[in-house]
Amino acid sequence: MHKPCDYCYIVIRMDSSLNYEIISQDLYRGSDTLERFITKIEKELANIQEDLFASAEMIIVAGDLKAYNEVAECWICKGPFLNPALKTR
């Protein structure tokens, strides 16, 4: 039976421009490897989820702005698209 004795991981954040940044990393060797890995990876998951829930500014180039202002339906689910720009008019 295999008993884990070490692990290594790296968490990388990548933006839409394919720029990346190493957020965290961990290397460990010891008898409690599995327990420590699970604890650390759960903390990483919580940090990633917190980061994903934070609001970010939308980047729109001039050509896309017209299409964004006129869209009425989500291209993925085909449901109604609530555009905040249309509400202010």
- Check whether residue 50 and residue 61 sit in a common domain: no
Q: Are 1 and 40 members of one domain?
A: yes
pLDDT of residue 64: 83
Mean pLDDT of 11-27: 90
Rounded to a whole number of angstroms, the distance between the first and last alpha carbons of the chain is: 67
* 47 and 25 within one domain: yes
The widest CA-to-CA distance across the chain, in whole angstroms, is 67
Q: Are 19 and 39 in a shared domain?
A: yes
Q: How many domains does the chain have?
A: 2
Claim to verify: residue 52 and residue 62 sit in the same structural domain:
no
Name the residue range of residue 71's domain: 57-89
Residue 76 · residue 84 · CB < 8 Å? no
Residues 38 and 7 in one domain: yes
Same structural domain for residues 41 and 65? no
Q: Is the pLDDT of residue 89 over 50?
A: no
For 28-41, the pLDDT digits (tens) are: 999 999 999 999 99
Q: Tell me the one-letter amino acid at 38.
A: I
